[in-house]
Amino acid sequence: MGITKVVEIPVVTTEVPIGPQHPALHEPIMLKVYADGEEVVKVEVNTGYNHRGIEKLCEKNTFYRDIFIVSRVCGICNAVHANCYVRALEQILDVTPNRRAKFLRVLSMELERIHSHMLINAVMAEIVGFETLFMQIMLDRERVMKAKEILTGNRVSADYMMVSGVRRDIDEVKRDKIKEILLKLKSKIEYYKKVFEEDETLVKRLVDVGRVKYEDATSHSFVGPLARASGVRIDSRASDKYDAYDEIPFNVITRTEGDSWARMMVRWDEILESIEMGIYILNNLPSDGNPVPDERRLPRRFPPGEAYTRVEAQRGELTYYVMSDGKTQNPYRVKIRTPSFNNIVNSAFMYVKHTLADVPVILTSIDPCISCMERVTLIDLEKGVRQRIPLKQLSSGGRK
């Protein structure tokens, strides 16, 4: 009787770089994917392609100029960045906007949430091959951009927030126009939600792909729709009740499936919630004075102090830390922590055991915003010595 010798065949792993010029999203991030055939066995998340020095730039400009700087951290969520920063200044100054201003602030941020969620859901449709659905969703998103323009004066960079109020009020004509847009949009969103629920191709490409369990979502510090799709009830609007969120009724949307499909469905339901919130605001807008303060009467000198504020941005919890030393008109320190930082850096495990074709789907379901999360300006070369590093030198690996 012969002896059979068992020979182990080594697994051949192929390294597949996805990005930084990305096939799924126009975001500068690289996923270094290691695959055994078509199956993903490991993923390394590489960031660092988009440094702009926002935090240090804020420390080199005045408190009030910084409102325009922070609103340009991200074009899609500029109002929430400005709101979080402005509320930090209001804490240091101990000032409070009136109720009408708070309602208008919430309206602008919810309009941003609607168009941001519509954008990423449209991109998901494009990723799985539905270019017509992508164009239809983007066409209806233009209605939301029009509503934002009516409210703030601009479609994208609104520059709407200011200390102790907002920069523009609305009259009855503008109120009716925005309300009409939201009412027409509601039926469209319900239709798109039904498509994502019933279309066979969408369901096959999204269901059970990139599943995140409740315990994994909490242990990896996920925030926003990524966490809520796994059953984690986390929402700064409900916990902090900043601005007028303590007066405006809304539901925190959660699901338990935890996969890519659930993350997109959470966004559709959140859009419907935001539409209802917008209609409620327009129907119950307070008339307790002018929401636009006189900039000439705002304090020029900030007292010493510090503030930590957070806001529920489209992708999750966004926080600002602002410190004033009381000596200059510039903040001593501005620190920003964005939701994409938590979600992207900790997401590598989500791709494992899926196919290469699933990688763009999972990444899109996270809704990454890389421009929000990357900021660097200087390093310590020697003890007590700091030197600014030009972007050209940084990109060359530090070589002069």
Q: What is the DSSP string of 371-398?
A: HHH----EEEEETTEEEE--HHHHHTTT
Contact between residue 322 and residue 331 where contact means Cβ atoms under 8 Å apart: yes
The partner residues of 305 in beta bridges, in order of sequence, read: 324
Nearest to 111 by CA among 159, 85, 168, 149: 149
Closest CA to 128 of 260, 293, 307: 260
Look at the block and give the residue holding tokens 């192929």: 14
* Residue 11 belongs to a domain: no
Task: State the Rg of the chain over Cα.
Answer: 23
Q: What is the mean pLDDT of each run of 10 residues along the chain (400 residues)?
A: 47 68 66 89 82 85 95 89 97 96 98 96 94 96 96 89 96 97 97 96 95 96 96 96 96 96 98 98 94 92 96 95 95 93 90 92 89 51 49 44
Report the candidate in 148, 130, 113 with the shortest Cα–Cα distance to residue 268: 113
Residue 199 lies in a domain: yes
Own/partner contacts of 394-399, CB < 8 Å, gap of 24 or more, are: 394/51
Q: Are 164 and 114 in contact (CB under 8 A)?
A: no
Nearest of 186, 205, 207 to residue 269 by alpha carbon:
186
Question: Is residue 221 one of the residues assigned to a domain?
Answer: yes
pLDDT at 99: 96
pLDDT of residue 376: 42
Return all residues near 166 (Cβ < 8 A) that are at least 6 apart: 97, 101, 104, 105, 108, 160, 291, 292
In 3D space, the residue among 369, 249, 381 whose CA is nearest the CA of residue 315 turns out to be: 369
**Is 218 a member of any domain?**
yes
Check the CA dihedral 271-263-116-290 and report its sign: positive
- Domain presence at residue 5: no
Query: Are 330 and 204 contacting, i.e. CB atoms less than 8 angstroms apart?
Result: no
Threshold 0.85, pTM exceeds = yes
Q: Is residue 287 part of a domain?
A: yes
pLDDT at residue 25 in the model: 61
Domain limits for position 157: 46-381
Number of domains in the chain: 1
Alpha helical stretches, state H, the chain: 54-59, 65-70, 78-93, 99-127, 131-152, 172-198, 200-206, 214-219, 225-228, 236-240, 260-283, 339-345, 359-366, 370-373, 391-395
Q: How far apart are CA 274 and CA 264, in angstroms?
A: 15
Domain with 111 in it: what CATH number? 1.10.645.10
3-class secondary structure per residue, 208-260: CCCCCCHHHHHHCCCCCHHHHCCCCCCCHHHHHCCCCCCCCCCCCCCCCCCCH
Apex 40 CA angle, 36 and 44, nearest 5: 115
301 within domain boundaries: yes
For residue 337, is it within any domain? Answer: yes
